[in-house]
Amino acid sequence: MDKFFQFQERGTSYKQETIAGVTTFLSMSYILIVNPIILSQAGMDKGAVFTATALSAIIGSLLIGLLANYPIGIAPSMGLNSFFTFSVCIGMGIPWQTALTGVFISGILFVILSLLKIREKIINVIPKDLKHAIGAGIGFFIAFIGLKNAGLIVGNEGTFVSIGNLKSSGTMLAIFCFILTVVLIVRGVKGAIFLGMAISAVIGMFAGIIDKPEKIIGAIPSLEPTFGEVFLHLDQIFTPSMIAVIFTFLFVAFFDTAGALIAIASQAGLMKNNEIPNAGKALIADSSATVIGAILGTSTTASMIESTAGIAAGGRTGFTSVIISGCFIIALFFSPLLSVVTAEVTAPALIIVGALMAMEVKNIEWGKVEIAIPVFATILMMPLTFSVATGIAFGFVLYPITMLALGKAKAIHPIMYGLCIAFIGYFIYLS
């Protein structure tokens, strides 16, 4: 096992990987609760979606851990499940069965692109400064999500966002958890993020901030309402609206996953010579999970940016992903316990991990304005648009433009020019 996962080469151990896997699971376990709630608004059975969400996370995480040896958790994407429900099903009036078939087709296209190594090629030709910007931008993005989930940042009609109610019990718990975790990290305590979440959950229950679970073990809901529906609606996808939907799923998921993979590989110290080892295998695992998830009954899966919490806790190999998969298996039977892992408990971990990822900015050549402007746009637009893909799009449009203006056209790979044009089309489509 040590040899297979390269423990010695990556400076890790069973204990370190296990703590990292549990930490990542706790950080992303909310998906088991939130994904069924979102997709049920499209008319899907909530119980079936819960089981499909867990199974797709189990299979996807196991695949990326065993095939690519990466410490990444895979699960349904939060952005794309909202797009599925509110834009496709509710906004466009497309039945969830047909929309799910669109996810299935986009997943197959993903697999084909991964097998042909087109996705891997695109990731590897991205300039190193943009890669560092993507990693840092995702750090700011997930920190923003953490601040929002903690209630520290709230919406405001006049200023868009403002500080929340710091006297709220949930926000106070999040602040306590944040300070506790920071102290543990600074003191060099192993598994500090996991310990911070665990202690805060216990305190939250005793203080009455978090509801104690009514029971420990729950029955696994049936998959029957959603399983295999994609095969019954293949004849309904050949319409202009559905083709647009399929390519939107494909486009957004492509760059959400690429961004997460770049950020995770960089944070874990796995990137070599501006390239990600085993990127092709990681992308095949990711895209295969989308196909399997659609068959089971859930929207597009992706490499979860919450995986960075596990990496901060010491995850360096695919054994972390195996642990994540095992935790999701247990969660199928102990689903009532997930109710104690609230947003207030996980938010501080996201803020801290965001800060650690933001350290990527030190590797960017800020002294060159032709680089500074595109990377700044990439970093800034991720949290402001609440989308990794949109932040990447801004950077990919601006970078070739600034290089052309400087007369460095040959310094840019032709693929980057193609992506620049594609992203301009993406913005026109969104508007």
Reported as a single tens digit per residue, the pLDDT across 65-84 is 999 999 999 999 876 787 78
pTM here is 0.73
Task: Kindly state the average pLDDT of the residues 255-273.
Answer: 77
Ranges 18-32, 153-167, 340-354: which has the least confidence: 340-354
Phi first, then psi: give them for residue 161, nearest 5 degrees.
-135, 155
Q: What is the pLDDT of residue 218?
A: 76
Q: In terms of pLDDT, which residue wins out, 336 or 378?
A: 378
Report the sign of the C-alpha dihedral through residues 109, 44, 321, 176, in that order.
positive
Mean pLDDT within 366-390: 90
| Max Cα–Cα distance, the chain, nearest Å | 66
292-to-42, 101, 139, 289 alpha-carbon distances in Å: 20, 12, 29, 5
Averaging pLDDT over each range in 80-94, 116-130, 333-347, 370-384, which range is the top one? 370-384
Residue whose pair of structure tokens reads 């939107």 in the numeric block: 248
Mean pLDDT of 296-319: 89
Per-residue pLDDT at 100 exceeds 80 = yes
Tally of CB atoms within 10 A around 429: 11
Sign of CA dihedral 217, 223, 226, 230: positive
> Mean pLDDT over residues 144-163, rounded?
90
CA distances from 280 to 67, 121, 180, 263, 275 (A): 10, 9, 39, 16, 11
pLDDT grade for 171, boundaries at 50, 70 and 90: very high
In angstroms, the CA 336 to CA 385 distance is 34
Contact between 48 and 227 under an 8 Å Cβ cutoff? The reply is yes
The tokens for 369 are: 């304005």
What local confidence, expressed as pLDDT, does residue 223 receive?
Answer: 94
pLDDT of 74: 94
Q: Where is pLDDT greater, at 130 or 269?
A: 130
Q: Which of 301-310, 329-338, 411-420 has the lowest mean pLDDT?
A: 329-338
Question: What per-residue confidence (pLDDT) applies to 81?
Answer: 83
What is the pLDDT at residue 431?
Answer: 67
- Of residues 187 and 274, which shows the higher confidence score? 187
10-46 residue pLDDT tens: 889 999 999 999 999 988 887 887 788 789 889 999 8
Average pLDDT over residues 88-108: 90
Instruction: Check: CB of residue 220 under 8 Å from CB of residue 51.
Output: yes
pLDDT value at 416 more than 70: yes
Look at residue 103 in the predicted model and tell me its pLDDT: 93
Q: Which of 130-139, 263-272, 317-326 shows the lowest mean pLDDT across its residues?
A: 263-272
Mean pLDDT computed over 347-363: 83
Does pLDDT of 51 surpass 90?
Answer: yes
Residue 380: burial class (beta carbons within 10 Å; 0-12, 13-18, 19+): middle
The pLDDT value given to residue 430: 65
Q: For the chain, what is the HEC assignment?
A: CHHHHCHHHHCCCHHHHHHHHHHHHHHHCCHHHHHHHHHHCCCCCHHHHHHHHHHHHHHHHHHHHHHHCCCCCEEECHHHHHHHHHHHHHHCCCCHHHHHHHHHHHHHHHHHHHHCCHHHHHHHHCCHHHHHHHHHHHHHHHHHHHHHHHCCEEEECCCEEEECCCCCHHHHHHHHHHHHHHHHHHCCCCCHHHHHHHHHHHHHHHCCCCCCCCCCCCCCCCCCCCCCHHHHCHHHCCCHHHHHHHHHHHHHHHHHHHHHHHHHHHHCCCCECCECCCHHHHHHHHHHHHHHHHHHCCCCEEECCCHHHHHHCCCCCHHHHHHHHHHHHHHHHCHHHHHHCCHHHHHHHHHHHHHHHHHHHHHCCCCCHHHHHHHHHHHHHHHHHCCHHHHHHHHHHHHHHHHHHCCCHHHCCHHHHHHHHHHHHHHHHHC
Mean residue pLDDT across the chain: 87
* Average confidence (pLDDT) over 43-66: 94
> 172 pLDDT exceeds 90?
yes
Residue 189, pLDDT > 80, answer no
Higher per-residue confidence, 281 vs 278: 281
Q: What is the pLDDT, as a whole number, of residue 106? A: 92
Residue 194 has a pLDDT of 75
Task: Give 191-205 pLDDT, tens digit per residue.
Answer: 677 788 888 888 999
The backbone region for 167, taken as left when phi is positive above 0, alpha when psi lies in -120 to 50, beta otherwise, is: alpha
Q: Which of 279, 236, 272, 308 is nearest to 73 (CA)?
A: 308
**Distance between CA atoms of 320 and 22, rounded to whole angstroms?**
8
